[in-house]
Amino acid sequence: MIKDNYFTDNKDMLLHFNELIDWEEIVKEYEGDYLEAKEYQKTGKQELEMAPSSVEEAIDYYKEILNSYGDLAGNEVSPHVASFDSEGLKYENGKVTHPEKMAELVNVFHDAGLPPAGFLRKYGGLGLPHVVKGLLLEIMYRCDTSFAIAMGSVVLASILQDICDEEQKQRILPKLIKERYSVTMGLSEPDFGSDLASVKTKAEKRDGKWYITGTKRFQTVACGINGAPSATLCLARTGSPTSGAKGLSFFLVDGKDYEIAGIEKKMGIKASATCEVVMNDAPAELLGKEGYGLTRYVMGMLNGARMSVGSMGAGMSTASYFESLKYATERVQFGKPLKEIPAVKRMLDRMEREIAGMRNLLIEGARTVDLYSWRNLRGKDEGIDEKTLRRDPHILFWNTVSSAMTPLAKYYNAETANSLCYDAIQIFGGSGFCEDYDVARIYRDVRIASIWDGTSQIQVNAAIGPVVVGINGTGPFGEYLKQKIDGITPSAELTELYSGVKKLVEYYKGLPDSKTKEYYSVDVVHNVSRFLIGLLFEEQEKKIKSTETLAHRKIMREDFNVDSLGQIDAAIRKLSRVK
Regarding beta strands 90-92 and 95-97, do their DSSP bridges make them parallel or antiparallel, or are they unpaired?
antiparallel
pLDDT of residue 473: 87
Nearest to 360 by CA among 562, 116, 529: 529
Using CB atoms within 10 Å of the CB of residue 450, give its burial: 0 to 12 exposed, 13 to 18 middle, 19+ buried. Answer: buried
Q: What's the length of the chain?
A: 579
Tally helices (H) and strands (E) across the chain.
Answer: 20, 11
Structural contact between residues 69 and 116, judged by C-beta atoms closer than 8 angstroms: no
Q: Kindly list the distances between the CA atom of residue 18 and the CA atoms of 48, 68, 545, in Å, as whole numbers in the listed order.
A: 25, 17, 10
Dihedral (CA of 369, 375, 381, 384) sign? negative
Residue-by-residue DSSP string for 245-288: GGGEEEEEEEGGGSEEEEE---SS-TTS-EEEEEEEEEEEEE-S
Going by the DSSP 8-state scheme, the letter that residue 97 receives in this structure is E
d(Cα 9, Cα 64) in Å, to the nearest integer?
A: 15
pLDDT, tens digit only, all 579 positions of the chain: 999 999 999 999 999 999 999 999 999 999 999 999 999 999 999 999 999 999 999 999 999 999 999 999 999 999 999 999 999 999 999 999 999 999 999 999 999 999 999 999 999 999 999 999 999 999 999 999 999 999 999 999 999 999 999 999 999 999 999 999 999 998 888 887 677 878 889 999 999 999 999 999 999 999 999 999 999 999 999 988 888 888 999 999 999 999 999 999 999 999 999 999 999 999 999 999 999 888 788 877 778 888 999 999 999 999 999 999 999 999 999 999 999 999 999 999 999 999 999 999 999 999 999 999 999 999 998 899 888 998 999 999 999 999 999 999 999 999 999 999 999 999 999 999 999 999 999 999 999 999 998 899 999 999 999 999 999 889 999 999 999 999 999 999 999 999 999 999 999 999 999 999 999 999 999 999 999 999 999 999 999 999 999 999 999 999 999 999 999 999 999 999 998
Dihedral (CA of 153, 461, 389, 297) sign? negative
d(Cα 288, Cα 270) in Å, to the nearest integer?
A: 34
Going by the DSSP 8-state scheme, the letter that residue 189 receives in this structure is B
Residue 129: φ, ψ to 5°: -70, 165
The set of residues, in sequence order, having a beta carbon less than 8 Å from that of 246 and lying 6+ positions away, is 239, 291, 295
Number of Cβ within a 10 Å radius of residue 15: 20
Q: CA end-to-end span of the chain, whole Å?
A: 51
d(Cα 119, Cα 125) in Å, to the nearest integer?
A: 4
Distance of CA 464 to the CA centre of its chain: 19
Nearest to 529 by CA among 359, 409, 367: 409
Q: Kindly list the distances between the CA atom of residue 376 and the CA atoms of 126, 164, 391, in Å, as whole numbers in the listed order.
A: 19, 14, 11
Distance of CA 298 to the CA centre of its chain: 15
Which run of H or E residues covers position 204?
A: strand 202-206
For residue 101, the SS3 value is: helix
Residue 210: φ, ψ to 5°: -105, 145
Structural contact between residues 233 and 186, judged by C-beta atoms closer than 8 angstroms: yes
Using CB atoms within 10 Å of the CB of residue 57, give its burial: 0 to 12 exposed, 13 to 18 middle, 19+ buried. Answer: middle
Q: Kindly list the distances between the CA atom of residue 67 and the CA atoms of 57, 201, 312, in Å, as whole numbers in the listed order.
A: 15, 43, 18
Number of Cβ within a 10 Å radius of residue 150: 28
Q: Kindly list the distances between the CA atom of residue 141 and the CA atoms of 1, 40, 305, 459, in Å, as whole numbers in the listed order.
A: 12, 34, 14, 21
The set of residues, in sequence order, having a beta carbon less than 8 Å from that of 37 and lying 6+ positions away, is 31, 48, 51, 52, 53
d(Cα 364, Cα 371) in Å, to the nearest integer?
A: 11
pLDDT of residue 11: 98
C-alpha gyration radius of the chain: 23
The set of residues, in sequence order, having a beta carbon less than 8 Å from that of 252 and lying 6+ positions away, is 172, 231, 232, 233, 234, 284, 285, 287
Residue-by-residue DSSP string for 471-530: HTT-HHHHHHHHHHHHTS---HHHHHHHHHHHHHHHHHHTSSSHHHHHHHHHHHHHHHHH
d(Cα 406, Cα 274) in Å, to the nearest integer?
A: 25
d(Cα 262, Cα 280) in Å, to the nearest integer?
A: 16
Say which amino acid occupies 5: N
pLDDT of residue 305: 85
Using CB atoms within 10 Å of the CB of residue 520, give its burial: 0 to 12 exposed, 13 to 18 middle, 19+ buried. Answer: middle
Q: Kindly list the distances between the CA atom of residue 384 and the CA atoms of 3, 259, 379, in Å, as whole numbers in the listed order.
A: 49, 40, 5
